[in-house]
Structure 1
Amino acid sequence: MTLRLPAPDGTLHAYEPRAEPLAATASSAGSAFTSRTVFSAAHVVADPYADTTPDGPAAVDWDATLAFRRHLWAHGLGVAEAMDTAQRGMGLDWAGAAELIRRSAAEARAVGGRIACGVGTDQLTAGTPAEVRAAYEEQLAVVEEAGAQAILMASRALAASAHSPEEYLEVYGHLLRQAAEPVVLHWLGPMFDPALEGYWGSADLDRATDTFLEVIAAHPDKVDGVKISLLDAGREVDLRRRLPKGVRCYTGDDFHYPELIAGDAQGFSHALLGIFDPLGPLAAEAVRVLDTGDTQGFRALLDPTVALSRHLFQAPTRFYKTGVVLLAWLAGHQSHFTMVGGLQSARSLPHLARAYQLADTLGLFPDPARAEERMRTLLSLYGVDQ
């Protein structure tokens, strides 16, 4: 049946949903990738029956949240846990994140899944560099005790308190010296979080990059890799060519990921991406094609997904989680379109309708009829008659 979808100009247009999902190769599902290390940053599923407020503690549906992680692991993807995709600092506080880390790490052990978890300072709203360091240490201990790899995330509190590159060097140097295992360093740009403007001690990205590389060069044995989320493919390529031997570059560029993962004659990026939450099975299939050396086949599968990703991550980029959770609901991974902090209201109906259309065109929904019916319900709630 035809759906009438709202456009940004207020008009309605007819869309004919597809009848069948994309035919995916399932024979190798769950097997390890051989050419790239790939993480999907994963969203959390809210408890829709909880009596909460937008600024209160997050109420999480743990069964559905962990089931989604099992879905990602079943396709061979690693899970990047308690990252910004899980609404860290946008509905999920440190207490909730710590519980998420413990539960997901235990689930990873049970099913043999790979997991890395975000270490930040979100128990602070502000503080001195020493207090920031202590907050990082507390979270690092939780992640290491859970048996997960640590991802040192950018800190709003450090961005607010540090006045020079040297203060970043001191804080990160201290953390890397005490980390039990090599970590991933995460540089999240201000398009994802405006509070991180000027990270690494300078708003000049060239100078910031130099400081970032100085941190890595001083402790290459403690850095597994770096995750770059600046939405600037050229800058990422330049940075990965300057990394010490053995330090990986994990792309966090949700605009240019196919070309960055495919790479060039001088190297390639691994992946740690929020867009691989809704793209999980398709992304896994594409990487397995790349494992065979078929770069053209990899690009043929993944390039068509970029339009959806650019739509979900359009400015203000930090609200991309709303589209991610919408697609999880439409795909049947959760029974409702509710988010912690009430963030389901952060995108307009035309934006959500376009996300549905792009995802349906790609064949991302295992049950297109269910996705259509759920989209029809959402449109009805907004007063769009069919």
Structure 2
Amino acid sequence: MRFLEKYDVREAFLISRKLLSCCDSSAASSVEAEGHVYQLLFQIKENPLAYKVGDSLGVLPKNPKHVVEKVLASLGYSPQHSVKIHDSSTTIYEFLRTRANLDKFPGKLKSFFSEEVASGNLYEAICKERPNIPMDQFTSALLPLLPRFYSLASSPEANEEELELLVRLISYPGVDEQRYGVCSFFLCRELELNTSCQVFIQPTQHFTLGVHLRNKPLVMIGAGTGIAPYKAFVQQRIATGDAGKNILFFGERFEKANFYYQDFWKQAAAQQLVDLFLAFSRDGEKKVYVQDILREHRDLVTKAYEEGASFFVCGSKVLGQEVKKTLEDILGKMQLSQLREERRYVIDVY
């Protein structure tokens, strides 16, 4: 992947992996359905990677071993067969594990499959029909396995030695088996402690703590793993002595199972370093979401705006849409548009 040549790709060693979603609660089945969430700590043994809060970590994933083995068996390929990729050679196993997208169907391979499966998932089609494809045609047609990006949950000012991620293990039902997100499975299940993976920094342009935010209120709005960059924001402000007020509006399903980094947040709140406003939609009889607690505290939101606050939104696209409507209702459409122009309303949705 030649586009990676512009990045400083490093070997990052996994030094800690901790399950943060608590699955011994009454919410266990629901948490499982939504995917476990893990805190991962990485260390780069050479010089630390230079980054700023709000940046993302690009991770070069590997396809699950059982997926690669099943593809090879279904196609009748020997795992140790040598294949030439550009100017180098490797085994077909290693190529499929590290470089090939085994989910997206390449147009050049559709003629080897029935119409019924050729519009679906490549891996599932291979397992179902076990086609006879010459190896050279197969490897040359496959699309590349692209990096995945995760918001960094760490601040270089607080600890330049470690990179921290908050990763949800993506899980979904396949045709004949449970399927997983390629990178989340690699990071949460396959990557062993004290072994490395390849990473690089993907800089953010606006989703960061610029100079114009110094000593100004910071309104952080997020849901799910969208809380990750806000931990870095608050750590950074504490480490640099920034006196600006920190306000967090956070939503998830269950407080016991899904309040990620709750020890950090509760300690910061106890020290009056952050004001917490939380919405856990499945804990009460009435479902409460982030936009609801924003409306409930509209006076506080308005006061922060008048004091020069910047507003950050991180989470799903649905969250972004609902928060936008709510802030327009509280502050006004023109005011929110002006905030965006001034880079004081910044969103990171996915």
Q: Normalising to structure 1: TM-score of the pair?
A: 0.27
Instruction: Work out which of the two has the higher radius of gyration on C-alpha atoms and give 1 or 2.
Output: 2
Which structure dedicates a bigger proportion of its chain to helix? 1
Q: Normalising to structure 2: TM-score of the pair?
A: 0.30
